[in-house]
Amino acid sequence: MKDDQLYLIHIRECIGRIQQYAAGSRQDFLADTKTQDAVLRNLHTMAESTQRLSPALKAAHPDVDWRAIAGFRNVLVHDYLGVNLALVWEIIEQHLPALKRKVESILASLGKTQARTRSGAWQAAPPTGRSIMLIVHVHVHVKSECVEAFMAASLENARNSVKEPGIARFDVRQQSDDPTRFVLVEVYRSVEATAAHKETAHYAKWRDTVAGMMAEPRKSVKYDNVFPDDSGW
């Protein structure tokens, strides 16, 4: 059980790093070879850790497609140059958030089991890590004829986004001397919140609505919070 717990923690950490590296848009990911390399390395490491989990733990959680994860690991090892980056992005957006939630659920149950073994009574599992705020500036250049439509779609998305518990701020800013350029200032209370945001209906609507409005691919820059501290947001 102890080894399983260590590997599960490692899997969760790999997913967290992947979500942080890929916190920008699909276009950002497909255009940035450094991000691609970092994501693929952590996907490989994550998949390796799943293979080291005990057969008993895997059997106890058949809702996770352990075989598919192992198969993807083999592709990364033996056919690295043939990796489909569009498929990798789909995995990041659609599959990793659910896997992370499942891993956290398993870790919580293992923590309770260990606490019960020690004391004979159920106890809450200890905290498994501290969330760190993530700030993302998304730089957007839209076609001149799309400025008003982009602004309307982005304001609707921002108004809904600030209602999410994991988001501290979601600003839409327009450049003074060039109205076709915007910066979206997104302040997340944790890396996990970025993944949760991308699962929302309002984000999906915004993404699809503005896809054809871009004059060039969106670019994102990630920042760590320095001041005010996390409690000040």
Q: Give the residue from 119, 147, 171 where a domain finishes.
A: 119
**Would you state the structure tokens that stand for residue 111, as one six-digit string?**
């923590």
Q: Considering the domain boundaries, does residue 227 fall inside one? A: yes
Q: Considering the domain boundaries, does residue 194 fall inside one? A: yes
The verdict on 41 and 142 lying in the same domain is no
pLDDT band for position 115 (50/70/90)? very low
Helix, strand or coil, per DSSP, at residue 121: coil
Q: What CA–CA distance (Å, rounded) separates 160 from 39?
A: 29
The verdict on 101 and 138 lying in the same domain is no
Whether 96 shows a pLDDT value over 60: the answer reads: yes
What total of structural domains would you count in the chain? 2
Catalytic residue positions, numbered: 73, 78
H/E element holding 173? Answer: strand 167-174
Q: Give the residue from 75, 96, 119 where a domain finishes.
A: 119
The verdict on 218 and 111 lying in the same domain is no
State the sign of the Cα–Cα–Cα–Cα dihedral 64, 67, 68, 73: positive
The CATH number of the domain holding residue 179 is 3.30.70.100
Q: What CA–CA distance (Å, rounded) separates 12 from 176?
A: 42
The verdict on 75 and 182 lying in the same domain is no
- Between vectors from CA 50 to CA 32 and to CA 193, what angle results, nearest 5°? 50
Q: Considering the domain boundaries, does residue 129 fall inside one? A: no
Range of the structural domain that residue 221 is part of: 134-232
Whether 46 shows a pLDDT value over 60: the answer reads: yes
Q: What CA–CA distance (Å, rounded) separates 125 from 113?
A: 9
The verdict on 105 and 161 lying in the same domain is no
Q: Considering the domain boundaries, does residue 124 fall inside one? A: no
The verdict on 96 and 139 lying in the same domain is no
Q: Considering the domain boundaries, does residue 128 fall inside one? A: no
**Would you state the structure tokens that stand for residue 33, as one six-digit string?**
């070879």
Residue range 154-158: average pLDDT?
A: 97
Q: Give the residue from 90, 119, 148 where a domain finishes.
A: 119
Whether 84 shows a pLDDT value over 50: the answer reads: yes
Query: Of residues 216 and 198, which shows the higher confidence score?
Result: 216
Single-letter amino acid code for the residue at 42: N
- Measuring CA to CA, which residue among 19, 115, 102 is closest to residue 66? 102
Q: Considering the domain boundaries, does residue 47 fall inside one? A: yes
**pTM > 0.85: yes or no:** no
The verdict on 166 and 88 lying in the same domain is no
The verdict on 185 and 144 lying in the same domain is yes
- Between vectors from CA 183 to CA 149 and to CA 173, what angle results, nearest 5°? 70
The verdict on 149 and 174 lying in the same domain is yes
The verdict on 113 and 215 lying in the same domain is no
Whether 188 shows a pLDDT value over 80: the answer reads: yes
The verdict on 106 and 11 lying in the same domain is yes
Q: For the chain, what's the residue count?
A: 233
The verdict on 6 and 101 lying in the same domain is yes
Whether 124 shows a pLDDT value over 50: the answer reads: no
